[in-house]
């Protein structure tokens, strides 16, 4: 049985599944339910400074996009940080931590970019017994207009400055939450590291408008006929998040910096992929908001069963395992040749591979063979692009099969070269230089 216990910058939890700072972690009632369901930890919904709490809109706070059968693929929200009194939150946090000593409880914090503001709140949080703090430099809506959230996360100097204050005024581990609404996520990560952060977490939500109401011409979610960009999350953002996690994991300047992976994690598989790309644990929100807290049970059993099947005993066995395989395009092996193969027994003859290839790619899949509807790859034309695999509705019906070294690539008329060769040394590259790898 795989050991799922997680130790993230010294914060221990029975499994690597934390609930991200968001509506599901706004109060004791929800968090208690989450812990009962099996979540390993929660990042409490972001606390603001002492005083009258923020107010939220009273119209819709969420917008969404859906896939087939109205499966929720992407969610956006314009909810702000907690709109409850700071001390109510602190009291509840303290009580919950006492009730659940084995679970991780992290306080997310967002106060103005002033040293005094941070200095004031940190001891209050520390007093709750929280295991650590997460600096919310990510929220892209509302608070950013007031110089907080992503407004800080978009300026590396501010990140470094605030992290430094936090490290100075608290003994608690500091996790810096990054916004994806920037050009190069390595910059804020480097800044956080320079400030002394213990870890980064990412991604926060992405600026977005989910849809436009075509009757009223208002963006959704619409508040009295008008809308604002909200933070996008859910399964649709996972690929963006995976890339950003990997960028930080493989950046020599931040290499080894612990990462809490966030962004569209919905199943154990998603979680395992984040871990493999260098995350030390994961945070989940949209999946819980879509299906309830119970989904963690699928995540726990799925991850555990997969680890058992593959012989991985602890999370350390899988964390970062995919990182060395992430590289730049220029280092990809141009001598690797694969061709699509269609399993005729699995093929349902929908023809989507054919029309995708015929209309938009390389005319490499037949529609008829000897007058009969039959979809088959034409090796002479197939560039191995994988589009057919992606559009086929039957999993594993079409696969990409590598050609063994020495076999003839019918498209080029040349045998497959057994040697690795990339763009840096390719004769067509005017800047050809010695391969770096």
Partner 1 sequence: MGTTQSGILYGRLPLAEYETNFSDLHPPLDRHEALVASDRCYFCHDAPCMTACPTSIDIPLFIRQISTGNPVGSAKTIFDQNILGGMCARVCPTETLCEQACVRNTAEERPVEIGRLQRYATDVAVMENKQFYARAAATGRRIAVVGAGPAGLACAHRLAVKGHDVVIYDAREKSGGLNEYGIAAYKTVDDFAQKEVDYVLSIGGIEVRHGEALGRDFSLADLTEQYDAVFLGLGLAGVNALRIDGENAEGVDDAVDFIAALRQSKTKADIPVGRRVVVLGGGMTAIDAAVQAKLLGAEEVTICYRRGKEHMNASEFEQDLAASKGVTIRHWLQPKRIAVKDGKVAGIELEYTTLENGKLTTTGETGIIAAEQIFKAIGQTFQASGLGALRMESGRIVVDEEGHTSLAKVWAGGDCVLGGEDLTVSAVAMGRDSAESINRAFAADAPRASAVA
Positions in the binding site for partner 1 (CB under 8 A)? 68-70, 347-352, 354-355, 367, 373, 393-394
Q: How far is the CB of 343 from partner 1 (least distance, A)?
A: 12
Q: How far is the CB of 353 from partner 1 (least distance, A)?
A: 9
Evaluate whether 434 touches 347 at the Cβ level (below 8 Å): no
Q: How many Å apart are CA 289 and CA 107, to the nearest integer?
A: 20
The residues near 106 (Cβ < 8 Å, ≥ 6 apart) are: 11, 18, 21, 41, 42, 43, 44, 130, 131, 132, 133, 134, 175
Q: How far is the CB of 382 from partner 1 (least distance, A)?
A: 18
Beta carbon nearer to partner 1, 115 or 358 = 358
Neighbours of 415 (CB within 10 A): 14
Rg (CA), the chain: 25
Q: How many Å apart are CA 170 and CA 320, to the nearest integer?
A: 29
Evaluate whether 260 touches 199 at the Cβ level (below 8 Å): yes
Beta carbon nearer to partner 1, 203 or 357 = 357
Residue located via tokens 């929200």 = 77
Q: How many Å apart are CA 1 and CA 424, to the nearest integer?
A: 45
Beta carbon nearer to partner 1, 186 or 354 = 354
Beta carbon nearer to partner 1, 69 or 224 = 69
DSSP 8-state class, residue 34: H
Give how far Cα 68 sits from Cα of 65, 284, 425, Å.
Answer: 10, 23, 45
Q: How far is the CB of 352 from partner 1 (least distance, A)?
A: 6
Q: How many Å apart are CA 51 and CA 49, to the nearest integer?
A: 6
Positions annotated as catalytic residues are: 139
The closest alpha carbon to 17, from 304, 312, 246, belongs to 304
Beta carbon nearer to partner 1, 200 or 347 = 347
Q: How far is the CB of 239 from partner 1 (least distance, A)?
A: 23
């Amino acid at each position: 049985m795989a050991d799922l216990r997680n130790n993230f910058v010294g914060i221990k939890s029975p499994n690597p599944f934390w609930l991200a700072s968001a509506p599901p972690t706004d109060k004791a009632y929800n968090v208690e339910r989450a812990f009962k369901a099996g979540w390993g930890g929660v990042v409490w919904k972001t606390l603001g400074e002492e005083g009258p709490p923020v107010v939220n809109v009273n119209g819709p706070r969420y917008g969404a996009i859906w896939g087939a059968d109205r499966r929720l693929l992407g969610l956006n929200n314009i909810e702000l940080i907690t709109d409850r009194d700071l001390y109510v939150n602190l009291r509840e946090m303290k009580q919950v931590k006492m009730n659940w000593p084995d679970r991780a409880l992290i306080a997310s914090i967002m106060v103005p970019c002033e040293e005094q503001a941070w200095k004031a709140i940190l001891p209050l949080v520390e007093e709750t017994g929280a295991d650590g703090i997460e600096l919310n430099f990510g929220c892209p809506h509302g608070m950013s207009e007031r110089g907080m959230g992503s407004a800080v996360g978009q300026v590396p100097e501010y990140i470094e400055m605030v992290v430094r204050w936090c490290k100075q005024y608290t003994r608690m581990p500091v996790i810096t939450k990054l916004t994806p609404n920037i050009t190069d996520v390595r910059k804020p990560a480097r800044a956080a590291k320079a400030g002394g952060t213990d870890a980064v977490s990412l991604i926060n939500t992405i600026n977005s408008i989910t849809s436009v109401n075509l009757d009223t011409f208002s963006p959704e979610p619409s508040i009295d006929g008008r809308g604002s960009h909200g933070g996008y999350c859910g399964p649709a953002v996972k690929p963006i998040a995976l890339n950003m996690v990997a960028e930080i994991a493989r950046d020599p300047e931040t290499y080894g910096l612990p990462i809490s992976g966030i962004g569209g994690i919905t199943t154990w598989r998603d979680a395992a992929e984040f871990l493999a790309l260098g995350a030390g644990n994961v945070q989940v929100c949209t999946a819980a908001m879509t299906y309830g807290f119970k989904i963690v049970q699928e995540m726990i059993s799925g991850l555990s069963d997969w680890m058992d099947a593959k012989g991985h005993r602890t999370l350390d066995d899988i964390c970062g395992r995919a990182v060395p395989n992430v590289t730049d395009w220029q280092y990809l092996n141009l001598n690797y040749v694969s061709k699509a193969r269609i399993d005729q027994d699995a093929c349902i003859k929908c023809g989507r591979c054919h029309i995708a290839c015929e209309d938009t790619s390389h005319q490499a899949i037949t529609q008829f063979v000897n007058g009969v509807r039959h979809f088959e790859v034409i090796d002479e034309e197939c560039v191995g692009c994988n589009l057919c695999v992606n559009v086929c509705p039957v999993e594993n019906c079409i696969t990409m099969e590598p050609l063994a070294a020495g076999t003839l690539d019918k498209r080029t008329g040349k045998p497959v070269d057994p040697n690795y060769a990339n763009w840096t040394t390719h004769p067509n590259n005017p800047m050809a230089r010695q391969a770096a790898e």
